[in-house]
Structure 1
Amino acid sequence: MMSYKFIPTIEFKEDLKELDGSVVKFILKYIKKLESSENPKAYGKELSGNMVGLYRFRVSDYRIVVKFINNTFIIQGLGIGHRKNIYKILEKRL
């Protein structure tokens, strides 16, 4: 079985730095679960509209937004933040 590799963008790393330490630990554990999954898309939901092709994963009140790179086992972390504002933040980045 081929495992997935999570590669965060610079923005994703900056988002992570803004979060509380206990939340970061929880999120990193969740990312490890995605990397070791045979089908990580099953844990998330595909987004629509101008974010079609991106997936979001719920981690408590936070959302991890990623892009699966075609024909590879790479998950690109695009952003992470509170569910109330992560989509507005991402719209500015895309």
Structure 2
Amino acid sequence: MARTGTDKQPHTPFLSRPGVRRLTPFVLITAIALVFIFQNRANTEIRLLIPKVTMPLWGALLIAWGLGVLACVFMVRRRRDRHTRRPDV
């Protein structure tokens, strides 16, 4: 059935929407992590298997944080795909 302009959906407050509730902890943790990362500006030596690399600590922390976010996105996507598939009967 087509919706008309007179059909009204109940108004849900912004903070009680499911998408916002899932995203809020991520945004909060990301903000805290980024403050921590950019407060650590000293240079440090990092060993990457064989070579030693000298780089700012914030760069190393930012790379580690980005890899962690990618791993979480990958795992959430895998879990969602696994639960949405239904066996053919």
**Scaled by the length of structure 1, what TM-score is found?**
0.28
Higher strand proportion (structure 1 or 2): 1
Q: Which has the higher contact order (CA 8 A, sep 6+)?
A: 1
**Scaled by the length of structure 2, what TM-score is found?**
0.29
Higher helix proportion (structure 1 or 2): 2
Larger Rg: 2
